[in-house]
Amino acid sequence: MPMTILVEKHQGYRQISLNRPDRLNALNAEMHRALIAALSEAEADAECRAILVTGAGRAFCAGQDLADVAVKDDGPPDLKEVLERYNGLVRKLRALAMPVVCAVNGVAAGAGANLALACDIVLAAKSANFIQAFARIGLIPDCGGTWFLPRLVGAARARALAILAEPVAAERAAEWGLIWQAVDDDRLMAEAHALAARLARQATIGIALAKRAFDAAETNTLDTQLDLERDLQDEAGHTPDYAEGVRAFLERRAANFTGRR
Ligand code: T3D
């Protein structure tokens, strides 16, 4: 069986590619399993300090493989079960103790769009677009779409994107704050690799703690968040990378972070 997920190891980071290009990398059950496994293996590798996610072929990801969830004569598929898989994936991406860069190389539709939004820094090729395709088939945005969209682009745009299911081009997505940057197509992978390599040399634990703080901020009061920042900062302050960062600053040299406790 062809590999639905490809993993390339680079110095300090791994590239994970969705690999069903003839289906525009639409996700089926096997691909979910392989993607979770690839993320878990990256997480278990002490040398891996960043992840780069992208798609093989002309698309990033067309969301759920609709052939797998078509309504049959014996009734509708168990979408709760399907959604549990996606929820596990989104939770895992958010909780990874390292930065996740997403290089959106082509169309990102449905769950494919929202998986990209679950990553920490999203770059997209200028020719790529994002489609909240769910309304086209009678569904609602999932994979955290109803959570990410209003927070990233505001309620008015979020609702229109979800209800109209119109494509948003990468440059507009960047203008609206849906993603970090739109990049010339022929520069996308070079820029994404440079970013992943740069992140792999940063203070990994500090980045992981910042991710936790941002996620918690979504529901915390300012008061609670200030306490959390105090505690997480204390944790960051006990890492060798903090000691090294300060030393390097005082010695006017580049810091040599290890990402270790
Ligand atoms: O279980 C549940 O449903 C709950 C979970 C939901 C999560 C979701 O993601 S729901 C949303 C699912 N995704 C979509 O609705 C998007 C469907 N795809 C499209 O609308 C279009 O393919 C695109 C706008 C993404 C791209 O259009 P285009 O014209 O560039 O390509 P195409 O010709 O439509 O697609 C190329 C091939 O990929 C084609 O197959 P063929 O004709 O060459 O044999 C097409 O059928 C296949 N493909 C594209 N998307 C999917 C797919 N096959 C299965 N599932 C797909 N999602």
Contact predicate 126/185, CB 8 Å = yes
Q: Are residues 112 and 227 in the same domain?
A: no
Q: Please tell me the distance from the alpha carbon of residue 91 to that of residue 110, in angstroms, as a whole number.
A: 17
Task: Please report whether residue 11 resides in a domain.
Answer: yes
Rg of the chain over CA atoms, in angstroms?
19
Q: Please tell me the distance from the alpha carbon of residue 192 to that of residue 171, in angstroms, as a whole number.
A: 16
Answer with the one of 158, 174, 200 that is the final residue of a domain: 200
Q: What is the pLDDT of residues 78-97, one digit of tens each?
A: 899 999 999 999 999 999 99
Q: Please tell me if the CB atom of residue 194 comes closer than 6 angstroms to any atom of ligand 1.
A: no
C-alpha to C-alpha distances, 91 to 97, 250, 260, nearest whole angstrom: 12, 39, 23
Q: Are residues 225 and 115 in the same domain?
A: no
The residue whose CA is least distant from atom 52 of ligand 1 is 23
User: pLDDT band at 191, cuts 50/70/90?
Assistant: very high
Whole-number average pLDDT of the chain: 97
Q: Are residues 137 and 120 in the same domain?
A: yes
- b/e burial code for range 139-159 (CB count within 10 A of at least 16 → b): bebbbbbbbbbbebbeeebbe
Q: Are residues 18 and 51 in the same domain?
A: yes
The tokens describing 100, both together, are 């996740």
Ligand 1 center to 54 CA (angstroms): 17
Q: Which atom of ligand 1 is nearest to the CA of 136?
A: 15
Q: How many CB atoms lie within 10 A of CB 87?
A: 14
Q: How many domains does the chain have?
A: 2
User: pLDDT band at 73, cuts 50/70/90?
Assistant: confident
Domain, as residue range, for 224: 204-250
Task: Please report whether residue 256 resides in a domain.
Answer: no
Q: Please tell me if the CB atom of residue 246 comes closer than 6 angstroms to any atom of ligand 1.
A: no
* Res 74: pLDDT: 87
Q: Please tell me the distance from the alpha carbon of residue 47 to that of residue 255, in angstroms, as a whole number.
A: 18
Ligand 1 center to 30 CA (angstroms): 17
Over range 198-202, report the average pLDDT.
98
Over range 191-201, report the average pLDDT.
98
Contact predicate 68/28, CB 8 Å = yes
Q: Are residues 161 and 106 in the same domain?
A: yes
Q: Please tell me if the CB atom of residue 145 comes closer than 6 angstroms to any atom of ligand 1.
A: no
Residue 211: pLDDT above 90?
Answer: yes
Over range 49-65, report the average pLDDT.
98
User: pLDDT band at 116, cuts 50/70/90?
Assistant: very high
User: Dihedral sign, CA of 198, 204, 206, 207?
Assistant: positive
* Res 2: pLDDT: 82
* Res 23: pLDDT: 98
CATH number, domain containing residue 178: 3.90.226.10
Contact predicate 189/130, CB 8 Å = no
Ligand 1 center to 156 CA (angstroms): 26
Residue 1: pLDDT above 90?
Answer: no
CATH number, domain containing residue 217: 1.10.12
Task: Please report whether residue 209 resides in a domain.
Answer: yes
